[in-house]
């Protein structure tokens, strides 16, 4: 099943920040967390299928037009279920994968309930922090036509452009968002939102590296370094 799912994902995910390599990193993070988490009982087949298919509906969300909002976690859960049933997997297996995918989104507001869903959530969030998080946040900034840096008052920004506030409020105007704002309003909160001990430890180390980068960037932009 692994090869079939990889083929499906490869043909579907074309965005540079949410491509097959992101899928593979999330997959590796899932395995790492499952192997290192104390007292972790997990169905590895469900976890692997959920990792491979978790962003399958990202293109539909990215291409949604005319104010139409598509949630790739909700739509992706439906698509994953159909894909797995068509590949001959049982209804129960397909539903378990779908339920993990449905709750993987930070801004989705749905809480992961199973161990597989918690691991997928943490594994996916690890890929938005650390050096890989910096690289991906600038890819997204390019895709969304954002500036490199916004030296604004973060509280003012939150008040005017983040419905629901920190850390998982909805962004009103994505073009005004920047990687340093994403870091200050969302990424710093990621370790506290993690569901596994292993994910949290990895997240704290990654966050430290990311914080260092944005501190230096701020000084360079202000001309003091």
Residue span binding Fe ion (CB under 5 A) among the ranges 79-87, 106-114, 116-124, 201-209: 116-124
Q: Phi/psi at 171 (nearest 5 deg)?
A: -80, 130
Quick check: 116 binds Fe ion (CB under 5 A)? no
CB-wise, 116 or 124, nearer to Fe ion? Answer: 124
| Phi, psi (rounded to 5 degrees) for 106 | -65, -45
Q: Return the number of other C-beta atoms located less than 10 Å from residue 172's C-beta.
A: 11
Per-residue mark of binding to Fe ion, 148-187 (x: CB under 5 A):
----------------------------------------
Backbone angles phi and psi of 170, in degrees to 5:
-85, 135
Residue 34 or 147: the one with the smaller Cβ distance to Fe ion is: 34
Using the rule CB under 5 A, give the single segment among 1-9, 28-36, 48-56, 92-100 that binds Fe ion: 48-56
Structure tokens that stand for 225 in this block: 């370094």
Q: Which two tokens stand for residue 181?
A: 């704002």
Q: Which of 17, 47, 50, 55 binds Fe ion (CB under 5 A)?
A: 55
Q: State yes or no: residue 124 binds Fe ion (CB under 5 A).
A: yes
Binding of residue 122 to Fe ion (CB under 5 A): no
- Whether residue 17 contacts residue 55, with contact meaning beta carbons closer than 8 Å, is answered with no
Q: How many chain residues interact with Fe ion (CB under 5 A)?
A: 2
Contacting positions for Fe ion (CB under 5 A): 55, 124
């Amino acid at each position: 099943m692994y090869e079939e799912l990889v083929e499906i994902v490869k043909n579907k995910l074309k965005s540079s920040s949410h491509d097959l390599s992101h899928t593979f990193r999330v997959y590796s993070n899932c395995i790492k967390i499952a192997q290192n988490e104390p007292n972790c009982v997990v169905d590895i087949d469900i976890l692997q299928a959920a990792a491979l298919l978790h962003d399958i509906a990202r293109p539909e969300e990215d291409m949604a037009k005319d104010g139409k909002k598509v949630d790739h976690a909700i739509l992706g859960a439906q698509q994953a279920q159909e894909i797995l049933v068509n590949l001959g997997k049982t209804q129960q297996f397909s539903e378990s994968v779908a339920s993990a995918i449905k709750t993987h989104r930070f801004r989705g507001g749905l809480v992961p309930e199973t161990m597989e869903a918690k691991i997928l959530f943490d594994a996916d969030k690890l890929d938005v922090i650390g050096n890989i998080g910096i690289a991906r946040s600038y890819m997204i900034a390019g895709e969304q036509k954002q500036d490199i840096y916004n030296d604004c008052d973060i509280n003012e920004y939150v008040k005017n452009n983040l419905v629901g506030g920190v850390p998982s409020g909805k962004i009103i105007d994505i073009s005004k968002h920047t990687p340093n704002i994403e870091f200050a309003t969302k990424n710093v909160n990621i370790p506290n939102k993690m569901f596994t001990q292993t994910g949290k430890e990895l997240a704290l180390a990654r966050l430290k590296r990311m914080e260092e980068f944005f501190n230096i960037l701020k000084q360079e932009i202000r001309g003091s370094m």
